[in-house]
Structure 1
């Protein structure tokens, strides 16, 4: 697994002049499902830095704290808001004149949250403790918006890591992240010299992925299955239909220097641990809180709360059998979105590869913050086939970004449109981006 140093970020890529040239011409989306539309990128590609041949436009702006999003077969965008705005937690953006920009903004749902998914004839959406289901009409829009079915309820919500991201497979199962309400399962959370609890009691109801039936009502822990454990918090997850498997992006633990200054200096604490992409099979254990993945040493390391010193490997009963990530990114970039691209608009290299939206974190302080971009991981045969790269940058604006609040935009959710466009949400200023490719 490739090692990445801080200097890696200074070599992202050079924005290509061709991208700017695209903004002066029409880029055909070549949408065969709807009436052909001509989409023109915004000037300077909405200030994003993209590879050659790509363009970007802002579909909508200032809609609220836009978390995850989906696009239906008619091109309508449904966005889950972290907090309700004007009493609405789900926003529907429609493009009546087919110019690529939303000209209609409606909404429903009196709850905030992160998760949203389309599958079959239903829309699924989550609050921080429940998952709801809405039937779709002939236009792919939700019906019975005031009376959804409750699929899952009663999930633990203790404010920290409480977003309930969701995804469905092809066998009527829905997977729900239940994040750990702790940093490292200490007796006193984020407190110096407080030991880690063993065994960690949080894992009984959080710190993992739970599986429920998508076609059953009123399920909670007793009706669900703990599909995987040892995952501190997963905001980005997706079902890879190429190998019929669940993939997740974990947020790594914080405070290594703050809690253990004798073991980790400021730089090490900023870079460690990895933000990790895992392929998840039923019954897997990723090892939290007992271990973390060190992308520099390229191995799992015993957490200091459990006797680790930055070099010790996991012990029996404390992460020894934990799975390894398939890709390890630098620490504290907050991966909030994951999408396997199956469209035909983008060049062949992107087919079946993974896009990851990095939201940007806070725990690199006092170092400069990183993230605030969309990365790409090439896949072949269901496995990574090359090094990850920055696909879309420039969301945060001019640097340096010393605090998350300095970032103008923070990528959160990813969605694929029916024509193969890539949509990116921003929960800092409520912007929805659409990234397209000029195939000519």
Structure 2
């Protein structure tokens, strides 16, 4: 009887630990449900999935990298580990061949054999340490592409400027061992999310537009880079057809790649993920989920939600709300979504750096 009482108390304590009042405020399409997957992850940002189901979580201000595990398959991560601390804006995380890669501002680290050593992480190896040290837009997203290369971005070290070094405002790629650095795309102000189309294998990425042109200009962007060498306009043109007041004089904006999709200004689209699972209804398969982090300097806040972009014949044609409610009608902000990750069972994870949590979105018929 005593053992049964203890087990019941533990179950109730666990359920209470994940009882979250914010998720009750969130609105999703019929049939979808959102719950807490993990908590106590200060400044939770970018997400990566290990080969054993471990979810790795980067941060920014916290300077930490976390790992969380759902070991009993109930849709909640019971175990939490700190893989590293004291790092400089370690936003980006990626996993490949048993190793965790972490992007700081000026370098990329590698934690070999991490899967079996979550409680006792190995000393990281420095894969590459040649990026600029500027903190402004210095945090990086990190992903392995279909070609096996590591992709990341080097943001502009300013709101609007024309840096002398061509490495700024770019997307770059390099080999997993840190060799062979190449600039893949130019004119990219600040991309903190990208993915590859599941059918074409081509790169799509978000880009946050410049500030201080007003509440409604310029639009934030989703861009398509089907090949290397394209220029997406920064700092000369914004949103495809808005010349910059300082750098866009006498510049023909048509010489640059226009956005594939224009988001409202200041919604701050960050992490994106094409949905390839079978758990969600058919209309969502192959579509793009986007985390809108939300505005910081608009007179009336916008964003603070997850949307999905409807693709038709390989191009986005419509934007639909998917998760809303973090921005309350009175202007209060209850959360800021950052990244999206698909789990093997077809559910989606969404990180929230304001609350330091990860949500899990499931579909139940």
Alignment of 1:41-440 (within 5 A): 45-84=23-62, 89-110=64-85, 111=87, 112-136=89-113, 145-185=121-161, 200-202=162-164, 204-214=166-176, 216-217=177-178, 219=179, 223-256=180-213, 269-280=214-225, 281-293=227-239, 299-306=240-247, 308=249, 315-316=251-252, 319-364=253-298, 367-384=299-316, 386-396=317-327, 398-401=328-331, 406-438=332-364, 440=365
**Counterparts of 2:80 and 2:335, CA distance in 1:** 20
Q: Is contact 2:137–2:156 with CA below 8 Å preserved after alignment?
A: yes
Q: Report the TM-score, using the length of structure 1 for normalisation.
A: 0.73
3-state DSSP of counterpart to 2:59: strand
Stretches of structure 1 that go unaligned for 5 or more consecutive residues are 1-39, 186-199, 257-268, 294-298, 309-313
3-state DSSP of counterpart to 2:335: coil
Q: Report the TM-score, using the length of structure 2 for normalisation.
A: 0.87
Stretches of structure 2 that go unaligned for 5 or more consecutive residues are 1-17
| Deviation for aligned residue 1:43 | 7.7
Q: How many residues align?
A: 345
Deviations 1:238-277 (A, max 9, x none): 1223211111100001112xxxxxxxxxxxx111111110
| Deviation for aligned residue 1:73 | 4.4
Q: Is contact 1:115–1:125 with CA below 8 Å preserved after alignment?
A: yes
3-state DSSP of counterpart to 1:159: coil
Q: Is contact 2:48–2:94 with CA below 8 Å preserved after alignment?
A: yes
3-state DSSP of counterpart to 2:157: coil
Q: Is contact 1:129–1:153 with CA below 8 Å preserved after alignment?
A: yes
| Deviation for aligned residue 1:183 | 1.4
**Counterparts of 2:163 and 2:124, CA distance in 1:** 33
| Deviation for aligned residue 1:133 | 2.3
In structure 2, relative to structure 1, the CA distance for the partners of 1:142 and 1:244 (3 Å cut) is: farther
Higher mean alpha-carbon deviation, 49-58 vs 92-101, is at 92-101
Q: Is contact 1:72–1:417 with CA below 8 Å preserved after alignment?
A: no
3-state DSSP of counterpart to 1:234: coil
